[in-house]
Amino acid sequence: MISARVLIRPKEGILDAQGKAVEGALPALGFEGIEHVRVGRIVELRAEDDRRLEELCEKLLANPLIEDYEIEIL
Amino acid sequence: MIWGVLQFPGSCDERDALHACEVATRELVSGGGGPADDVSGRGGGTSPAAPIDRSRLVWHEETDLSGLDGIVVPGGFSYGDYLRAGAIARFSPAMTAVAEFAEAGGPVLGICNGFQVLCESGLLPGALLTNESTRFICRPGELIVGESDSPWLAGLEPGEKLSIPFKHQSGRFFAPPEMLDRIEANGQVAFRYAQGQNPNGSLNDIAGVTNEAGNVLGLMPHPEHAVDPLAGGTDGLKIFRGPARTAGAAGA
């Protein structure tokens, strides 16, 4: 078995409403000078091998229209 | 016209949708709005169930859509909206059947979460992102009918204004530039938010799109909640009437 971590994030150029909301909250909490906050997600999994991970990302874990993904084999 | 309304774990608008289908069909059968118990078979008659009584919910594990003339993929939070709205529902057995139904030209309507499911399935172009405001919105609103040949818009005029409730958190329509151009050029924009009413940041004010053939329609607002004068108007029925009218004309 292998362990893999998939990082999924909104494509560059698409308004990331969650990231914007987080960024908007920062000054009130005293965090100054932080910008370009993007919120994505991480999926961790184990698999027999890495052959179909790409397909898994394309079909389910990410929506290629709006999201980029990176697969990291651990 | 016999309708099937999909029901996923987490769906919540399926009963309103089924009611809307029944109202639209009953109205058609009775020739315009009045009660039609004698025709529908309800009210104690012994005649076999008329089509209106055979419209039904379709559980997400079902694969047999035979006998159904139209499919609605309703609103709600299918599979908890885990991962992305509609992402998991797309893999349900019923959706495989819906894809075949759509491929054969059958009318399919996706509302809100159903729209998201149809986009995730690739039956409709584009994707729905979290509202620009990140907030859930729930209020009355207006749509403008687009220039489209879709059977769902039969009986509607381009430019006509419909009052239909808005109720969603992930309704921001997005498509990459080339895809957006194609959708516009092909006349696939079925509905836009009326001027100044875009509630979520959708590109080109798009509220609903069809596939290229026009038989699959998805929209973010909720026509199934606008079918009764007591509950804010009946403009939603105008959408459900489209394919019902076609089926009626064909003698169904």
B73 pairs with which residues across the strands? B110
Band (B244; pLDDT cuts 50, 70, 90): confident
Task: Report the CATH number at residue A26.
Answer: 3.30.1280.10
- Structural domains in chain B (count): 1
Across the interface, whether the CB atoms of B126 and A15 are under 8 A apart is answered no
Domain limits at A9? 2-73
**Touching check for A74 and chain B: CB below 8 Å?**
no
* Helices B93-103 & B113-121 angle (0-180, nearest 10): 70
Choose the closest CB to B129 out of A17, A21, A61: A17
In this predicted model, what pLDDT tens digit does every residue of A9-20 receive, in sequence order?
999 989 999 999
In this predicted model, what pLDDT tens digit does every residue of B157-199 receive, in sequence order?
999 999 999 999 999 999 999 999 999 999 999 999 999 999 9
Contacts of A69 in chain B (CB under 8 A): none
**Touching check for B213 and chain A: CB below 8 Å?**
no
Across the interface, whether the CB atoms of B131 and A18 are under 8 A apart is answered no
Residue A60 CA neighbour count, 13 Å, CB half: 12
**Touching check for B186 and chain A: CB below 8 Å?**
no
Domain limits at B89? 3-249
- Structural domains in chain A (count): 1
| ipTM of the complex in this document | 0.87
Task: Report the CATH number at residue B220.
Answer: 3.40.50.880
CB-based contact B244:B25 (threshold 8 Å): yes
Number of neighbours of residue A51 by Cβ within 10 angstroms: 8
Distance CA B172, CA B152 (A): 22
**Touching check for A61 and chain B: CB below 8 Å?**
yes
pTM of the model: 0.89
In this predicted model, what pLDDT tens digit does every residue of B112-147 receive, in sequence order?
999 999 999 999 999 999 999 999 999 999 999 999
CB-based contact B94:B62 (threshold 8 Å): yes
B137 pairs with which residues across the strands? B168
Q: For residue B36, is pLDDT > 60?
A: no
Across the interface, whether the CB atoms of B130 and A18 are under 8 A apart is answered yes
